[in-house]
Structure 1
Amino acid sequence: MSITTVTHINLRGTARTALEFYRSVFGGELVAITYADAHSVTDPAEADQVMWGQVTSEAGFHVMAYDVPAARPLDLGTAPFFVSVRGTDADEISRYWAALAGEDSTVVVPLAPAGWAPLYGMVVDPFGVTWVLDVAVPYQA
């Protein structure tokens, strides 16, 4: 048996836009099921919002997102989670970084060499999601 963990991002009214952005960064396939598609509309104003959505790529990227209905509370707090993207190819990580760290994003830690990795950086995207990107190397105690 094997399992896979997938980051599932809770948003309010921006899930489709976020998933389209992530697809533009990482490539892959986007699937989005609306509340109307699932016959689960509780507020007609939210019928076209995403009840279940994901982006998956052949490289192994996988993220899910949905729009939390207005009737449910949503308090993300301050940096409640990070999405970590690790790879072994510095050029690939640098391409993802360039796409994520666009004009509407906030760079927290610029992508640069760090004591534990050839490249490491942290950025908050336009949807408030904090991304940590790094080039993975074997741990040296």
Structure 2
Amino acid sequence: MSTKYFSPYLSLPGNAAEVFAYYHEVFGGSLDLQKYGDTDTTGFPFTPPPDAVAHAQLDGGLVTLAGGDSFGEGCGGEGEQQLASSIYSFLIGLESVADAEALIATMTGRGSEIAMPFALAPWGDHYGQVRDPFGVLWALVVSGDE
């Protein structure tokens, strides 16, 4: 068995366009954003707002990430940071300490906060965490072999 691809998928509370614009700006790559108003929603079990994101895909750059606006139970309201959690994070392995420090500077310059300072960890790698403005925790690591 082989995997064609793996991508985290974020169900967002009505702010997917803003979230994915931020990720595109920070991580680079190409962004494909499709809104419900641009699709045929005939037969849908609900009537989505036309400006809501049906599907977003960020490819290339530093990450591959997919998502969209969700309208399910417990989804929350616009801007609610329901994604904030300490039980998960997205891990990005970078080539060098300088690359990691540059990404941290980019993220914090755009509203993210340091959750754990980037430093040499007891296991020999450099490691740190940044929480973005939407509540998602990003862990950054540079192998001690680098």
Matching residue's letter, 2:17: R
Superposition TM-score, scaled by structure 1 size: 0.80
Classify 1:52/1:80 alpha carbon distance in 2 versus 1 (closer, same or farther; 3 Å): farther
Query: Relative to total residues, which structure has the larger strand share, 1 or 2?
Result: 1
The question of 1:79 aligning with 2:86 is answered yes
For residues 108-123 of structure 1, what are the structure 2 equivalents within 5 Å? 108-123=115-130
1:32-111 maps to which residues of 2 (within 5 A)? Answer: 32-40=33-41, 42-43=46-47, 46-57=49-60, 59=61, 61-69=63-71, 71-74=72-75, 76=83, 78-102=85-109, 104-111=111-118
Q: Does 1:127 align with 2:134?
A: yes
Cα distance, 1:60 vs. partner? 5.3
Q: Which runs of 5+ in 1 are unaligned?
A: none
Identity of aligned residues (%): 26
How many angstroms does 1:16 deviate by? 1.1
Cα deviations by residue, 1:7-62 (Å, 9 ceiling, x for unpaired):
11121111111111111111111111111222237345x221111101112x4520
Does the CA-based 8 Å contact 1:14-1:127 persist in structure 2? no
Larger mean Cα displacement after TM superposition, 29-38 or 88-97 = 88-97
Deviations 1:55-85 (A, max 9, x none): 112x45201121112x533365733421111
For structure 2, the 5+ residue unaligned runs are: 76-81
Structure 1 distance, partners of 2:19, 2:5, is 22
Aligned-residue Cα RMSD (Å) equals 2.3
| Alpha-carbon offset, residue 90 of structure 1 | 2.2
Letter paired with 1:26: F
Q: Which amino acid aligns with 1:6?
A: S
Change (3 A) 1:104 1:95: same
